[in-house]
């Protein structure tokens, strides 16, 4: 006995398989897509995450330009990358969140900056001496932004990465543990009692 399959059922089955396969295929977002999402997003932490992803794309483009032996284009793309991470830093700083209490976007930003520094260091080792200047400037700028981000995440760290002592932080406000109340009271007049 032979089974017959209707033509519309066959067409629907094949188109369903093609549509489901394309729907599940993961496509990396382009810079244009990310810029559109950034402009629509109101939440500053989500906006910073999208800006971080855009900065990663720009760094990859700059590295690809240097690897293709186009140093002028690579330097231009590096400056675009630096502008993007500066914008991300500004978004996080202006978000109103205290980084030490709500570190969501700040931690991701630090991880991204560490990865970027590693990639820029590898790039620095692979280009000629004449093409080093923009890369070294980018490395210094990323280090500065990362240091500022770390100081926001860990306020007790000073510029050298060491913990500040109590004398460097200054006196604690009245009523906090570790400070005696007598340090903030008025001194008693010297009265001789008989």
Is the pLDDT higher at 96 or at 138?
138
Model confidence at 187: pLDDT above 80: no
pLDDT band for position 175 (50/70/90)? very low
Rounded Cα gap, residues 142 and 116, in angstroms: 8
Burial annotation 13-42 (CB, 10 A radius, 16+ → b, else e) = eeeeeeeeeeeeeeeeeeeeebeebbeeee
For 3, the token pair is 């089974």
Q: What's the pLDDT tens digit per position in 54-110?
A: 999 999 999 999 999 999 999 999 999 999 999 999 999 998 888 888 888 899 999
Chain position carrying tokens 């489901």 = 20
pLDDT at 34: 86
pLDDT at position 98 is: 87
The 10s digit of each residue's pLDDT in 20-44 is 455 455 677 888 888 889 899 898 8
pLDDT, residue 28, reads: 74
Q: Which residues contact 154 (CB under 8 A, 6 or more apart)?
A: 100
* pTM for the structure as a whole: 0.67
For residues 144 and 166, the answer to whether their CB atoms sit within 8 Å is no
Give yes or no for residue 145 having a pLDDT over 90. Answer: yes
pLDDT, position 163: 57
Average pLDDT over residues 154-182: 56
User: Helix %, strand %, coil % for the chain, to 5?
Assistant: 70, 0, 30
Q: Name the percent of the chain lying above pLDDT 90.
A: 46
| Residue 148 half-sphere exposure toward CB, CA atoms < 13 A | 12
Q: Which pLDDT belongs to residue 51?
A: 92
Q: Which pLDDT belongs to residue 176?
A: 47
Residue 190 has pLDDT above 80, yes or no: no
Q: 120-136 pLDDT, tens per residue?
A: 999 999 998 888 999 99
Stronger pLDDT, 175 or 158, i.e. the higher one: 158
Structure-model confidence comparison of residues 66 and 191, the more confident one: 66
Asked if 163 contacts 137 with a C-beta cutoff of 8 angstroms, the reply is no
């Amino acid at each position: 006995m032979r089974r017959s399959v209707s033509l519309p059922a066959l067409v629907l089955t094949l188109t369903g398989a093609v549509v489901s396969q394309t729907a599940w295929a993961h496509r990396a977002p382009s810079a244009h897509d990310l810029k559109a999402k950034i402009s629509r997003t109101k939440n500053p932490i989500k906006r910073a995450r999208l800006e971080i992803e855009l900065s990663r794309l720009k760094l990859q483009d700059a590295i690809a330009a240097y690897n293709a032996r186009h140093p002028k284009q690579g330097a231009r793309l590096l400056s675009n990358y630096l502008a993007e991470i500066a914008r991300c830093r500004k978004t996080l700083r202006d978000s109103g969140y205290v980084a030490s209490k709500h570190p969501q976007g700040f931690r991701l930003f630090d991880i991204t900056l560490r990865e970027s520094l590693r990639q820029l260091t590898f790039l620095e080792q692979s280009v000629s001496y004449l093409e080093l200047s923009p890369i070294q400037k980018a490395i210094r700028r990323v280090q500065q932004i990362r240091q500022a981000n770390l100081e926001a995440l860990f306020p007790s760290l000073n510029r050298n990465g060491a913990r500040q002592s109590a004398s460097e932080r200054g006196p604690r406000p009245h009523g906090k543990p570790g400070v005696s109340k007598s340090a903030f009271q008025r001194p008693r007049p010297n009265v001789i009692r008989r």
